[in-house]
Structure 1
Amino acid sequence: MRKVRGAKAKKYAKQFLSLVNIDQVPEIVSKLETVVMLMQKEKQFRNMLTSPSFKDEERVGVIGYLCEKLGLPEETKKFLNFLSIEGVLIGLGEIVRYINALYLEAKKKVKGIVTSAVELPENIKQKIVESLKAITGRDVELQYEIDPSLIGGVRVKVGSTMYDLSIKGQLGLLRDKLIKG
Protein backbone atom coordinates (compact mmCIF):
# COMPACT_ATOMS: atom_id res chain seq x y z
CA MET A 1 0.00 0.00 0.00
CA ARG A 2 1.28 3.40 -0.95
CA LYS A 3 0.59 6.59 0.93
CA VAL A 4 -1.13 9.27 -1.11
CA ARG A 5 -0.31 12.87 -0.35
CA GLY A 6 -0.25 16.26 -1.97
CA ALA A 7 -0.25 16.36 -5.76
CA LYS A 8 -1.06 12.66 -6.07
CA ALA A 9 -4.11 12.94 -3.80
CA LYS A 10 -5.21 16.04 -5.68
CA LYS A 11 -4.89 14.18 -8.98
CA TYR A 12 -7.15 11.38 -7.70
CA ALA A 13 -9.60 13.96 -6.34
CA LYS A 14 -9.79 15.64 -9.75
CA GLN A 15 -10.40 12.26 -11.37
CA PHE A 16 -13.23 11.60 -8.93
CA LEU A 17 -14.84 14.98 -9.58
CA SER A 18 -14.77 14.31 -13.31
CA LEU A 19 -16.84 11.16 -12.72
CA VAL A 20 -19.68 12.44 -10.55
CA ASN A 21 -22.37 15.09 -10.67
CA ILE A 22 -20.92 18.10 -8.83
CA ASP A 23 -24.16 18.61 -6.91
CA GLN A 24 -23.85 15.12 -5.40
CA VAL A 25 -20.38 15.77 -4.01
CA PRO A 26 -21.33 16.96 -0.48
CA GLU A 27 -23.46 13.87 0.15
CA ILE A 28 -20.86 11.52 -1.33
CA VAL A 29 -18.06 13.17 0.67
CA SER A 30 -20.05 12.73 3.85
CA LYS A 31 -20.40 9.01 3.16
CA LEU A 32 -16.76 8.66 2.14
CA GLU A 33 -15.77 10.33 5.42
CA THR A 34 -17.68 7.52 7.15
CA VAL A 35 -15.56 4.99 5.25
CA VAL A 36 -12.39 6.87 6.21
CA MET A 37 -13.46 6.89 9.86
CA LEU A 38 -14.14 3.15 9.75
CA MET A 39 -10.74 2.55 8.18
CA GLN A 40 -9.09 4.55 10.95
CA LYS A 41 -10.94 2.86 13.79
CA GLU A 42 -11.29 -0.72 12.57
CA LYS A 43 -7.97 -2.37 11.77
CA GLN A 44 -9.58 -5.49 10.27
CA PHE A 45 -11.75 -3.39 7.97
CA ARG A 46 -8.74 -1.32 6.89
CA ASN A 47 -6.70 -4.46 6.26
CA MET A 48 -9.48 -6.02 4.20
CA LEU A 49 -9.56 -2.96 1.95
CA THR A 50 -5.84 -2.25 1.74
CA SER A 51 -3.82 -5.38 2.41
CA PRO A 52 -2.23 -7.10 -0.59
CA SER A 53 -2.88 -10.41 1.18
CA PHE A 54 -6.50 -10.11 0.02
CA LYS A 55 -7.27 -10.66 -3.64
CA ASP A 56 -8.58 -7.81 -5.77
CA GLU A 57 -11.84 -9.71 -6.22
CA GLU A 58 -12.32 -9.92 -2.45
CA ARG A 59 -11.71 -6.20 -2.01
CA VAL A 60 -14.02 -5.39 -4.93
CA GLY A 61 -16.72 -7.47 -3.25
CA VAL A 62 -16.31 -5.64 0.06
CA ILE A 63 -16.31 -2.26 -1.67
CA GLY A 64 -19.43 -3.21 -3.64
CA TYR A 65 -21.23 -4.26 -0.46
CA LEU A 66 -20.11 -1.11 1.33
CA CYS A 67 -21.24 1.17 -1.50
CA GLU A 68 -24.60 -0.58 -1.66
CA LYS A 69 -25.17 -0.18 2.09
CA LEU A 70 -24.12 3.49 2.04
CA GLY A 71 -26.11 4.24 -1.10
CA LEU A 72 -23.07 5.44 -3.02
CA PRO A 73 -23.39 5.87 -6.78
CA GLU A 74 -21.86 3.40 -9.23
CA GLU A 75 -19.18 5.93 -10.22
CA THR A 76 -18.02 6.13 -6.62
CA LYS A 77 -17.86 2.34 -6.38
CA LYS A 78 -15.75 2.20 -9.54
CA PHE A 79 -13.49 4.93 -8.18
CA LEU A 80 -12.97 3.11 -4.87
CA ASN A 81 -12.26 -0.12 -6.73
CA PHE A 82 -9.73 1.73 -8.88
CA LEU A 83 -8.01 3.13 -5.77
CA SER A 84 -7.97 -0.33 -4.23
CA ILE A 85 -6.44 -1.97 -7.30
CA GLU A 86 -3.90 0.86 -7.56
CA GLY A 87 -2.97 0.17 -3.95
CA VAL A 88 -3.71 3.70 -2.75
CA LEU A 89 -7.02 3.25 -0.94
CA ILE A 90 -5.14 3.77 2.33
CA GLY A 91 -4.91 7.44 1.29
CA LEU A 92 -8.67 7.88 0.95
CA GLY A 93 -8.78 10.42 3.79
CA GLU A 94 -6.35 12.73 2.03
CA ILE A 95 -8.14 12.25 -1.29
CA VAL A 96 -11.49 13.10 0.31
CA ARG A 97 -10.01 16.29 1.78
CA TYR A 98 -8.91 17.33 -1.71
CA ILE A 99 -12.29 16.38 -3.19
CA ASN A 100 -13.97 18.65 -0.68
CA ALA A 101 -11.51 21.50 -1.24
CA LEU A 102 -11.82 21.27 -5.03
CA TYR A 103 -15.60 21.12 -4.76
CA LEU A 104 -15.69 24.28 -2.64
CA GLU A 105 -13.33 25.98 -5.08
CA ALA A 106 -15.52 24.99 -8.04
CA LYS A 107 -18.62 26.28 -6.28
CA LYS A 108 -16.79 29.46 -5.24
CA LYS A 109 -17.39 28.67 -1.58
CA VAL A 110 -15.31 28.62 1.56
CA LYS A 111 -15.98 26.92 4.85
CA GLY A 112 -15.34 28.46 8.19
CA ILE A 113 -15.83 28.00 11.89
CA VAL A 114 -17.15 30.74 14.14
CA THR A 115 -16.51 30.22 17.83
CA SER A 116 -18.20 32.45 20.38
CA ALA A 117 -18.68 32.51 24.12
CA VAL A 118 -22.46 32.37 23.77
CA GLU A 119 -25.01 31.49 21.09
CA LEU A 120 -25.02 34.27 18.50
CA PRO A 121 -28.27 35.90 17.38
CA GLU A 122 -29.22 35.39 13.73
CA ASN A 123 -28.60 39.03 12.79
CA ILE A 124 -24.99 38.79 14.06
CA LYS A 125 -24.49 35.50 12.20
CA GLN A 126 -25.74 37.17 9.02
CA LYS A 127 -23.36 40.13 9.49
CA ILE A 128 -20.44 37.73 9.94
CA VAL A 129 -21.40 35.89 6.75
CA GLU A 130 -21.70 39.16 4.82
CA SER A 131 -18.36 40.42 6.13
CA LEU A 132 -16.57 37.18 5.27
CA LYS A 133 -18.15 37.12 1.83
CA ALA A 134 -16.83 40.64 1.24
CA ILE A 135 -13.35 39.67 2.47
CA THR A 136 -13.09 36.38 0.57
CA GLY A 137 -15.18 37.16 -2.49
CA ARG A 138 -16.86 33.77 -2.08
CA ASP A 139 -20.00 32.31 -0.57
CA VAL A 140 -19.34 31.26 2.99
CA GLU A 141 -20.56 28.15 4.81
CA LEU A 142 -20.10 28.55 8.53
CA GLN A 143 -20.19 26.13 11.39
CA TYR A 144 -20.90 27.67 14.78
CA GLU A 145 -19.35 26.52 18.04
CA ILE A 146 -19.60 27.76 21.60
CA ASP A 147 -16.56 28.10 23.87
CA PRO A 148 -17.31 29.97 27.11
CA SER A 149 -13.57 30.41 27.75
CA LEU A 150 -13.53 33.13 25.06
CA ILE A 151 -15.35 35.34 27.59
CA GLY A 152 -16.85 37.45 24.79
CA GLY A 153 -16.42 38.28 21.12
CA VAL A 154 -15.76 35.73 18.39
CA ARG A 155 -12.98 33.74 16.81
CA VAL A 156 -13.44 33.06 13.09
CA LYS A 157 -11.38 30.59 11.09
CA VAL A 158 -11.74 30.56 7.31
CA GLY A 159 -9.34 28.27 5.51
CA SER A 160 -5.97 28.83 7.15
CA THR A 161 -6.80 32.38 8.29
CA MET A 162 -7.83 33.07 11.87
CA TYR A 163 -9.57 36.25 12.99
CA ASP A 164 -9.49 36.39 16.78
CA LEU A 165 -11.81 39.08 18.04
CA SER A 166 -12.44 37.41 21.38
CA ILE A 167 -11.75 38.96 24.76
CA LYS A 168 -9.56 35.97 25.58
CA GLY A 169 -7.51 36.61 22.43
CA GLN A 170 -7.20 40.31 23.13
CA LEU A 171 -6.13 39.63 26.73
CA GLY A 172 -3.51 37.23 25.39
CA LEU A 173 -2.14 39.94 23.08
CA LEU A 174 -2.08 42.42 25.95
CA ARG A 175 -0.25 39.90 28.16
CA ASP A 176 2.34 39.31 25.43
CA LYS A 177 2.92 43.06 25.03
CA LEU A 178 3.32 43.53 28.77
CA ILE A 179 5.80 40.66 28.99
CA LYS A 180 7.88 42.04 26.11
CA GLY A 181 7.96 45.41 27.80
Structure 2
Amino acid sequence: MAAEDPSVSGVSGRYATALFELARDEQSLDQVKADLDKFEALLNESADLKRLVRSPVFSADTQLKALSAVLDKAGIAGTTAKFLKVLTANRRLFAVSDVLRAYRALVAKFKGEATADVTVAEQLSDKNLDALKTALKSVTGKDVALNVKVDPSIIGGLVVKLGSRMVDSSLRTKLNSIKNAMKEAG
Protein backbone atom coordinates (compact mmCIF):
# COMPACT_ATOMS: atom_id res chain seq x y z
CA MET A 1 0.00 0.00 0.00
CA ALA A 2 2.74 2.46 0.88
CA ALA A 3 4.45 2.12 -2.48
CA GLU A 4 1.27 3.22 -4.32
CA ASP A 5 1.14 6.61 -2.62
CA PRO A 6 4.08 8.96 -3.21
CA SER A 7 3.31 10.80 0.04
CA VAL A 8 3.89 7.56 1.95
CA SER A 9 7.47 6.52 1.28
CA GLY A 10 10.85 6.21 2.91
CA VAL A 11 11.43 5.74 6.62
CA SER A 12 8.37 7.75 7.63
CA GLY A 13 6.21 5.76 5.21
CA ARG A 14 7.38 2.44 6.62
CA TYR A 15 6.64 3.52 10.18
CA ALA A 16 3.28 5.05 9.20
CA THR A 17 2.32 1.88 7.32
CA ALA A 18 3.22 -0.30 10.30
CA LEU A 19 1.18 1.92 12.64
CA PHE A 20 -1.73 2.00 10.18
CA GLU A 21 -1.81 -1.78 9.83
CA LEU A 22 -1.65 -2.27 13.60
CA ALA A 23 -4.38 0.32 14.25
CA ARG A 24 -6.56 -1.17 11.49
CA ASP A 25 -6.19 -4.66 12.96
CA GLU A 26 -7.04 -3.30 16.43
CA GLN A 27 -9.92 -1.24 14.96
CA SER A 28 -8.44 1.88 16.52
CA LEU A 29 -7.67 4.00 13.43
CA ASP A 30 -9.66 6.99 14.68
CA GLN A 31 -8.31 6.81 18.24
CA VAL A 32 -4.72 6.65 17.01
CA LYS A 33 -5.37 9.55 14.61
CA ALA A 34 -6.90 11.62 17.43
CA ASP A 35 -3.91 10.87 19.69
CA LEU A 36 -1.45 11.76 16.92
CA ASP A 37 -3.34 15.01 16.27
CA LYS A 38 -3.12 15.80 19.99
CA PHE A 39 0.64 15.09 19.96
CA GLU A 40 1.12 17.27 16.88
CA ALA A 41 -0.75 20.13 18.58
CA LEU A 42 1.58 19.80 21.58
CA LEU A 43 4.56 19.80 19.23
CA ASN A 44 3.34 22.96 17.49
CA GLU A 45 2.77 24.74 20.82
CA SER A 46 6.05 23.89 22.54
CA ALA A 47 9.47 25.00 21.36
CA ASP A 48 11.03 22.74 24.03
CA LEU A 49 9.18 19.68 22.75
CA LYS A 50 10.19 20.53 19.17
CA ARG A 51 13.81 20.78 20.30
CA LEU A 52 13.55 17.43 22.12
CA VAL A 53 12.10 15.77 19.02
CA ARG A 54 14.49 17.23 16.46
CA SER A 55 17.81 17.51 18.26
CA PRO A 56 20.30 14.65 17.94
CA VAL A 57 22.02 15.93 21.11
CA PHE A 58 19.54 14.15 23.40
CA SER A 59 20.13 10.45 24.00
CA ALA A 60 17.36 7.97 23.26
CA ASP A 61 16.94 7.43 27.02
CA THR A 62 16.58 11.16 27.69
CA GLN A 63 14.10 11.52 24.83
CA LEU A 64 12.15 8.48 26.03
CA LYS A 65 11.87 9.75 29.62
CA ALA A 66 10.78 13.22 28.51
CA LEU A 67 8.39 11.85 25.90
CA SER A 68 6.82 9.47 28.43
CA ALA A 69 6.15 12.39 30.77
CA VAL A 70 4.59 14.43 27.95
CA LEU A 71 2.41 11.53 26.81
CA ASP A 72 1.24 10.80 30.38
CA LYS A 73 0.37 14.44 30.97
CA ALA A 74 -1.48 14.67 27.63
CA GLY A 75 -3.39 11.44 28.25
CA ILE A 76 -1.96 9.74 25.17
CA ALA A 77 -1.72 6.02 25.84
CA GLY A 78 -2.17 2.65 24.17
CA THR A 79 -1.02 2.01 20.64
CA THR A 80 -0.09 5.63 19.94
CA ALA A 81 2.10 5.97 23.02
CA LYS A 82 3.82 2.64 22.33
CA PHE A 83 4.41 3.68 18.73
CA LEU A 84 5.92 7.05 19.65
CA LYS A 85 8.18 5.28 22.17
CA VAL A 86 9.32 2.83 19.47
CA LEU A 87 10.12 5.78 17.18
CA THR A 88 12.15 7.26 20.03
CA ALA A 89 13.97 4.02 20.89
CA ASN A 90 14.86 3.59 17.20
CA ARG A 91 16.19 7.20 17.03
CA ARG A 92 13.53 8.17 14.50
CA LEU A 93 11.52 10.65 16.58
CA PHE A 94 12.85 13.48 14.37
CA ALA A 95 10.65 12.08 11.54
CA VAL A 96 7.44 12.18 13.59
CA SER A 97 5.83 15.00 11.53
CA ASP A 98 6.37 13.09 8.28
CA VAL A 99 5.05 9.91 9.91
CA LEU A 100 1.90 11.77 11.05
CA ARG A 101 1.31 13.12 7.54
CA ALA A 102 1.80 9.67 5.99
CA TYR A 103 -0.49 8.02 8.59
CA ARG A 104 -3.25 10.55 7.83
CA ALA A 105 -2.88 9.83 4.11
CA LEU A 106 -3.19 6.08 4.69
CA VAL A 107 -6.28 6.49 6.88
CA ALA A 108 -7.90 8.84 4.35
CA LYS A 109 -7.22 6.42 1.51
CA PHE A 110 -8.56 3.49 3.55
CA LYS A 111 -11.76 5.40 4.36
CA GLY A 112 -12.14 6.67 0.80
CA GLU A 113 -11.56 10.24 1.92
CA ALA A 114 -9.66 12.96 0.17
CA THR A 115 -7.46 15.33 2.12
CA ALA A 116 -7.28 19.01 1.35
CA ASP A 117 -4.61 21.35 2.68
CA VAL A 118 -6.27 24.71 3.24
CA THR A 119 -4.42 27.94 4.02
CA VAL A 120 -6.50 30.82 5.37
CA ALA A 121 -5.69 34.33 6.51
CA GLU A 122 -7.58 33.87 9.79
CA GLN A 123 -9.20 30.93 11.53
CA LEU A 124 -12.46 29.83 9.90
CA SER A 125 -15.61 29.32 11.93
CA ASP A 126 -17.01 25.80 12.25
CA LYS A 127 -19.86 26.86 9.95
CA ASN A 128 -17.41 27.96 7.23
CA LEU A 129 -15.29 24.81 7.65
CA ASP A 130 -18.41 22.66 7.24
CA ALA A 131 -19.43 24.64 4.15
CA LEU A 132 -15.96 24.16 2.66
CA LYS A 133 -16.04 20.41 3.38
CA THR A 134 -19.48 20.15 1.79
CA ALA A 135 -18.39 22.08 -1.30
CA LEU A 136 -15.25 19.97 -1.73
CA LYS A 137 -17.27 16.78 -1.19
CA SER A 138 -19.66 17.81 -3.97
CA VAL A 139 -16.67 18.27 -6.27
CA THR A 140 -14.74 15.12 -5.37
CA GLY A 141 -17.58 12.80 -4.45
CA LYS A 142 -15.62 11.85 -1.33
CA ASP A 143 -15.56 12.99 2.26
CA VAL A 144 -12.79 15.55 2.55
CA ALA A 145 -10.57 15.90 5.61
CA LEU A 146 -9.16 19.41 5.98
CA ASN A 147 -5.67 20.28 7.19
CA VAL A 148 -6.10 23.96 7.97
CA LYS A 149 -3.15 26.32 8.36
CA VAL A 150 -3.52 29.96 9.30
CA ASP A 151 -1.17 32.27 7.41
CA PRO A 152 -2.02 35.99 7.77
CA SER A 153 0.38 36.86 4.94
CA ILE A 154 -2.14 35.69 2.34
CA ILE A 155 -4.35 38.62 3.50
CA GLY A 156 -7.67 37.00 2.55
CA GLY A 157 -9.31 34.18 0.73
CA LEU A 158 -8.16 30.60 0.63
CA VAL A 159 -5.44 28.44 -0.85
CA VAL A 160 -6.74 24.91 -1.33
CA LYS A 161 -4.48 22.01 -2.24
CA LEU A 162 -6.36 18.82 -3.06
CA GLY A 163 -4.21 15.98 -4.29
CA SER A 164 -1.88 17.33 -6.95
CA ARG A 165 -4.10 20.36 -7.61
CA MET A 166 -3.67 23.74 -5.95
CA VAL A 167 -6.09 26.59 -6.39
CA ASP A 168 -5.46 30.08 -5.11
CA SER A 169 -8.33 32.47 -5.81
CA SER A 170 -11.89 33.17 -4.74
CA LEU A 171 -13.83 30.23 -3.35
CA ARG A 172 -16.14 30.11 -6.36
CA THR A 173 -13.25 30.09 -8.83
CA LYS A 174 -11.40 27.48 -6.77
CA LEU A 175 -14.33 25.11 -6.69
CA ASN A 176 -15.05 25.57 -10.40
CA SER A 177 -11.36 24.93 -11.18
CA ILE A 178 -11.33 21.77 -9.07
CA LYS A 179 -14.62 20.60 -10.60
CA ASN A 180 -13.28 21.14 -14.15
CA ALA A 181 -10.02 19.38 -13.29
CA MET A 182 -11.92 16.42 -11.85
CA LYS A 183 -14.10 16.21 -15.00
CA GLU A 184 -11.01 16.24 -17.21
CA ALA A 185 -9.28 13.59 -15.11
CA GLY A 186 -12.38 11.38 -15.10
TM-score (norm. length: structure 2): 0.61
Other structure's SS at 2:76 match: coil
Could you list the per-position Cα deviations for residues 35-75 of structure 1 after superposition, in whole angstroms to 9, with x for gaps in the alignment? 54367x2278517x86465353x433322211111111222
Q: Which residue of 1 aligns with 2:31?
A: 24
How far 1:165 moved relative to its partner? 4.9
How far 1:89 moved relative to its partner? 0.8
Higher relative contact order (CA 8 A, sep 6+): 1
Report the residue type matching 2:35 in the other structure. I
Q: 1:166 to 1:13 in 2, by over 3 A?
A: same
Q: Does 1:70 align with 2:77?
A: no
Among 11, 14, 29, which residue is 2:14 paired with?
A: 11
Q: Which residue of 1 aligns with 2:179?
A: none
Aligned partners of 2:91, 2:56: CA distance in 1, in Å? 8
Report the residue type matching 1:16 in the other structure. L
Aligned partners of 1:52, 1:15: CA distance in 2, in Å? 27
| Unaligned segments of structure 1, at least 5 residues | 170-181
How far 1:110 moved relative to its partner? 2.0
Q: How does 1:25-174 map to 2 (within 5 A)?
A: 25-37=32-44, 41-42=47-48, 45-46=51-52, 51=56, 54=59, 56=61, 58-112=62-116, 113=118, 126=131, 129=133, 132-142=136-146, 149=156, 156-166=160-170
Cα root mean square deviation, aligned: 4.0
Which region of structure 1 is more displaced relative to structure 2, 73-82 or 139-148? 139-148
Q: 1:16 to 1:148 in 2, by over 3 A?
A: same
Other structure's SS at 1:163 match: strand
How far 1:141 moved relative to its partner? 3.5
How far 1:95 moved relative to its partner? 0.8
Report the residue type matching 2:112 in the other structure. K
How far 1:80 moved relative to its partner? 1.5
Number of corresponding residues: 154
Q: Which residue of 1 aligns with 2:177?
A: none
| Unaligned segments of structure 2, at least 5 residues | 1-7, 174-186
Q: 1:138 to 1:17 in 2, by over 3 A?
A: same
Q: 1:55 to 1:13 in 2, by over 3 A?
A: closer
Aligned partners of 1:63, 1:149: CA distance in 2, in Å? 38
Q: 1:155 to 1:23 in 2, by over 3 A?
A: closer
How far 1:157 moved relative to its partner? 3.1
Other structure's SS at 2:166 match: strand
TM-score (norm. length: structure 1): 0.62
Greater radius of gyration (CA) = 1
